[in-house]
Amino acid sequence: MKLKLHVWRQNGPGNEGRFEDYVAENVSEHMSFLEMLDVVNEQLIARGDEPIAFDHDCREGICGSCGFMINGEPHGPLPSTTVCQLHMRNYRDGDELWIEPWRATAFPVIRDLIVDRSPLDRIVQAGGYISVRTGSAPEANNIAVPKANADLAMDAAECIACGACVAACPNASAMLFTGAKVTHLGALPQGQPERYTRVVEMVTMHDDEGFGHCTNHGACQTACPKNIKVDYIGRLNADLRKAKFRHPAG
């Protein structure tokens, strides 16, 4: 198939960006979206032009490295799918595609489709860990974890920090990401000693990094390739209220 691409090109965070037009030819329906861009880049390099810069690593929908907007939708049109797992059979010959990076103040563009998502890392560094000393690895069944709690923690842990929730949110909020990380540890017995300091520190870092506030649009849940639910934002808010009662000065 043959596609017309409008791709955002930007040399760096201090430069102005612009859309540039490309034609992707001989695209196989079996290619992933990133493989299609690989073919376009090979053509650009062959004629001495700068290739399109985009993030990727595992290309298996696991690492969270890839991600950009396709026709205004984070990761493209398919639900529960990262852009590296989006295949070209979902498009038709002659389609026109607009490809641009995540748009958020907290995610400055590094180059073309690559944005700086390190603010998400700093939210985790602020409290997304368990620092209780556990010594050597304990017997797995020493600490009983109710199945409902284990399932909740595992579901929250599916978040891959790709940033699609931020890109989809009209406020550029990262509360779905933060809620998932808070719930992941807060649902487990090992996470209880730091449960309330964790949520305060992570939300504080979220706000300090320039992310917007959640106003319950729900676009984040729709865009998430791992089906993280807005319920986790509700759990975060409940823990945050309890933390304020426990530590009024926090």
Specify the pLDDT at position 250: 47
User: pLDDT tens-digit profile of 56-97?
Assistant: 999 999 999 999 999 999 999 999 999 999 999 999 999 999
Rounded-to-integer distance, Cα 34 and Cα 83, Å? 7
Domain that holds residue 155: 117-246
- CATH number, position 126: 1.10.1060.10
Specify the pLDDT at position 130: 86
Alpha helices, DSSP H, located in the chain: 33-46, 118-127, 147-156, 164-168, 175-186, 195-208, 219-223, 231-246
Specify the pLDDT at position 245: 84
Look at 12-21, 133-142, 178-187 and tell me which has the smallest mean pLDDT. Answer: 133-142
175 and 242 share one domain? yes
Share above pLDDT 90 across residues of the chain, in percent, rounded to a whole number: 89
Torsion angles phi and psi, residue 110, rounded to 5: -85, -50
98-107 as b/e: b if 16+ CB within 10 A: ebbbbebebb
Return the sign of the alpha-carbon dihedral for residues 97, 102, 108, 111: negative
Q: Label residue 139 by pLDDT band (50, 70, 90).
A: low
55 and 78 share one domain? yes
183 and 237 share one domain? yes
Rounded-to-integer distance, Cα 140 and Cα 218, Å? 37
Specify the pLDDT at position 244: 85
* pLDDT > 50? residue 143: yes
The domain boundary residue, chosen from 111, 129, 146: 111
125 and 240 share one domain? yes
Specify the pLDDT at position 94: 97
Specify the pLDDT at position 175: 98
Q: Label residue 134 by pLDDT band (50, 70, 90).
A: low
Is the separation of the CB atoms in 24 and 36 below 8 Å? yes
Specify the pLDDT at position 142: 74
Beta strand pairing call for 96-100 and 3-9: parallel
* pLDDT > 80? residue 243: yes
User: pLDDT tens-digit profile of 159-176?
Assistant: 999 999 999 999 999 999
Specify the pLDDT at position 66: 95
Average pLDDT over residues 202-219: 97
241 and 129 share one domain? yes
